[in-house]
Amino acid sequence: MSESIKSTIQLNNGIRIPVIGLGTYLTDDADIEKSVRSAIEQGYRHIDTASYYKNEKKIGDTIKQLIQEGKVKREELFITTKVGTWQHGYDNALKAFQESLEKLQLDYLDCYLIHYPGTYSEIPAGETMSSLRAKTWKALEKLYEDKKVRSIGVSNYTESHLHELLSSCEIKPVMNQVEFHPYLFQEGLLNYCKLNGIVLEAYGSLAGGHEILTEHVVLEISNQMNKSPAQILLKWAIQNGLIVIPKSIKPERVRENSLLDFTISDENIQKLNHLNKNKRFYWDPNNVN
């Protein structure tokens, strides 16, 4: 199994998405241009952002400039953003989409996700979180039907959230973006998504950094294969069938994260799988009804 920066997989609606993308969470305006420019110039074509990250405008500026410079064509890019936790509801989600589209300075998006199954805003009278989620999804279906976005999906959804959605939706989500690393090997969720034709996309692949990067098993495999611990963790996710979106503002790290044209043995994949501690470093959607 050999992945390069050009490797893609097909989503359940027939479009293709690069397996390796650039994450932009906590990348502020001072660094985002350098990060996105470095990624595009090194061959990345998949950029992930969100209204919550507050960097869509700067990403849009950078992409526009790179297109004008002839470094990339719009149709070569796969741009994902997300409706925020405070933007749930049909009208709110449609408005949020338009705001993100304008900030990104694009005519369409490649993928639009519900960022989180819960909200940090007050739930309107007469609504439940479940009914609010359903209305948000209806808005995404409308955007898809109107060809304003090429695919729609979710993020941070558990099996129960997905089951709820699949029992009522007209259009199935193409992906579920979740925290996924050897300390949080969500095998049940992975199998559920595979069974239902939903791609899992991993965020937090390095599990917050230092702890997992110095984990004995990770270092052992890293030394054995002459690859960095980060490369091992990213390739492990890909070999488990996931898309990865590592972030970095350092050009050399952006490049390193894309050099995944090697294969980890089945034995070592199992060793990494068995590091699971059900340990989260980010949001816990299990608390959302």
- The answer to whether the CB of 113 falls within 8 A of the CB of 144 is no
**Backbone conformation region of residue 208, classed left if phi is above 0, alpha if psi is from -120 to 50, else beta:** left
C-alpha 215/C-alpha 35 separation (Å) is: 27
Residue 53 is among the residues annotated as catalytic for this protein:
yes
Structure tokens at 219: 């270092």
- β pairing state of 78-83 and 152-155: unpaired
Q: Do 247 and 35 touch, CB atoms closer than 8 A?
A: yes
Q: Report how far residue 135's alpha carbon sits from residue 141's, in angstroms, rounded to the nearest whole number.
A: 10
Catalytic residue, from 25, 44, 53, 192: name it. 53
First CA to last CA distance, the chain: 39
Beta bridge partners of 120: none
Positions marked catalytic? 53
